[in-house]
Amino acid sequence: QMDLCIEAFGTSKQKRALNSRRMNAVGSDILNTAVTKAAANIIDAKGVTALIQDVAQDDVQNISIFLPPCNEDADKPADVYKFEDILSPAEYEALRVPAAVFVNITPEEITKKTQDKSHCSFVLEELKFLPADEKSRDHKARCLWFLDMLIKFSYLKVIKKKNPMGPECPHIISRKLMKNFTSVTYNNGSVQNLISASMKAKIAAYVIALALHVNNFQTDLTVLQNDLKLQESRMMDIARAMRLKVSKAKGLPGLENDQNHKLGTLSVPLPVQKASGSQRKRKKIN
Residue 238 and residue 147 share a domain: yes
In the chain, how many domains are there?
2
Q: Is residue 229 part of a domain?
A: yes
The predicted model scores a pTM of 0.72
Cα–Cα distance measured from residue 121 to residue 255, given in angstroms and rounded to the nearest whole number: 14
| pLDDT tens readout for residues 123-151 | 999 999 999 999 999 999 999 999 999 99
Do residue 40 and residue 108 come from a single domain? no
pLDDT digits (tens, 9 = 90+) for 255-286: 444 557 899 999 988 887 765 444 444 444 44
Query: Is there a single domain that holds both residue 29 and residue 117?
Result: no
Q: Do 121 and 42 belong together in one domain? A: no
Q: Which helix (H) or strand (E) holds 58?
A: helix 48-65
Query: According to DSSP H, which parts of 166-270 are helical?
Result: 171-180, 197-214, 221-228, 232-241
In this structure, the answer to whether residues 40 and 79 fall within a common structural domain is: no
The verdict on 107 and 19 lying in the same domain is: no
User: For residue 62, is it within any domain?
Assistant: no
- What is the chain's pLDDT, residue by residue, as a tens digit (286 residues)? 677 776 667 777 777 777 776 666 555 555 555 545 555 555 455 454 544 444 444 444 456 678 999 999 899 999 999 999 999 999 999 999 999 999 999 999 999 999 988 899 999 999 999 999 999 999 999 999 999 999 999 999 888 777 788 888 999 999 999 999 998 877 777 778 889 889 999 999 999 999 999 999 999 999 999 999 999 999 999 999 999 999 887 645 554 445 578 999 999 888 877 654 444 444 444 4
Residues 139, 13: one domain? no
Residues 282, 276: Cα–Cα separation, whole Å:
10
State which residues form the domain around 17. 1-46
Do residue 88 and residue 12 come from a single domain? Answer: no
DSSP 180-192: HS-EEEEETTEEE
The answer to whether position 61 is within a domain reads no
Residue 202 lies in a domain: yes
Q: Do 204 and 144 contact (CB within 8 A), yes or no?
A: no
Domain co-membership, 118 together with 154? yes
Q: 91 burial class (0-12, 13-18, 19+ CB within 10 angstroms)? A: middle
Q: Can you tell me whether residue 124 is helix, strand or coil?
A: helix
Q: For the beta carbon of residue 264, count every other beta carbon within 10 angstroms.
A: 26
What is the C-alpha to C-alpha distance for residues 96 and 60, in angstroms, rounded to an integer? 36
- Say yes or no: 3 and 41 in one domain: yes
Q: What gap in Å lies between CA 53 and CA 279, rounded to an integer?
A: 5
Same domain, 12 and 119: no
Asked if the structure places residue 275 within a domain, the reply is no
